[in-house]
Amino acid sequence: MRRGHWLLLLTLLLVGGWLWLRAGKPPSYVNFPPKATGDWVAFGDSLTQGYGANEGGDYPAQLAKTLRVKIRNLGVPGHTTADGLARIDQAIQLQPRVVLLCLGGNDALRSIPSEETFANLGTLIDRFHQGGSFVVLLGVRSVGLTDKNAKRFEQLAKAKRVLLVPNILDGILFTPKLMSDEVHPNDQGYARIAEKLEAVLLPLLPKL
């Protein structure tokens, strides 16, 4: 075999080995697997509480059924990221293994500066991490024609090493059959959110 062919073969083997190692490497998320041992917690505002849905139609309840885990719904309508910080101790006391964090929508509706919103989200994540929880960050789009929050959620998730589910209302918002009003989904809309979460969480479930 010519020298050039040997070099090509060696290069392919090295690249293939690197790709194999990379594919087999577990995600470098904080607290994966979780150090905490309590039930899962969904921590957020009305989108988490399930405003607009029938009983059991909220996304935490629907996700709990499909993943067969217990998820405590700690969604409070109207809450901002600052409100979340004010009540985080109650959630940490539950020692949740997994936290589904969905806040920021009301910040946008109230024109709270995005710097404040994402600083608060960062603090929330840090506090949950300190408690041993695996955090799943749910992205919420900004108000307006373009989503100014998308990049910030990506940057925050990367900096804090958490799993991000971007723009959870993508494909739901502005679709009448999936919405109960202009902001909140109905049972079908919340089912779509649960499906998005199931898709990313199911492969990680054995370690959660």
CATH number at residue 113: 3.40.50.1110
* Predicted pLDDT at 2: 54
Tell me if the bond preceding 33 is cis, omega within 30° of 0: yes
How much is the pTM? 0.86
What residue numbers bound the domain in which 192 lies? 31-207
| Within-domain flag for 22 | no
* Predicted pLDDT at 18: 41
Report which residue type is found at 178. Answer: L
| Within-domain flag for 92 | yes
| Within-domain flag for 12 | no
| Within-domain flag for 142 | yes
Rounded CA-CA distance 43/131 in Å is: 14
| Within-domain flag for 88 | yes
The pLDDT tens digits along the chain (208 residues) read: 455 544 444 444 444 444 433 444 456 999 999 999 999 999 999 999 999 999 999 999 999 999 999 999 999 999 999 999 999 999 999 999 999 999 999 999 999 999 999 999 999 999 999 999 999 999 998 787 778 899 999 999 999 999 999 999 999 999 999 999 999 999 999 999 999 999 999 999 999 9
Total number of domains constituting the chain: 1
* Predicted pLDDT at 8: 44
Distances (CA, A) of 85 to 16, 91, 96, 174: 46, 10, 16, 30
* Predicted pLDDT at 147: 81
* Predicted pLDDT at 3: 53
Rounded CA-CA distance 186/192 in Å is: 10
Neighbours of 39 (CB within 10 A): 15
| Within-domain flag for 119 | yes
Q: What angle (nearest 5°) sits at the alpha carbon of residue 141, between those of residues 187 and 42?
A: 50
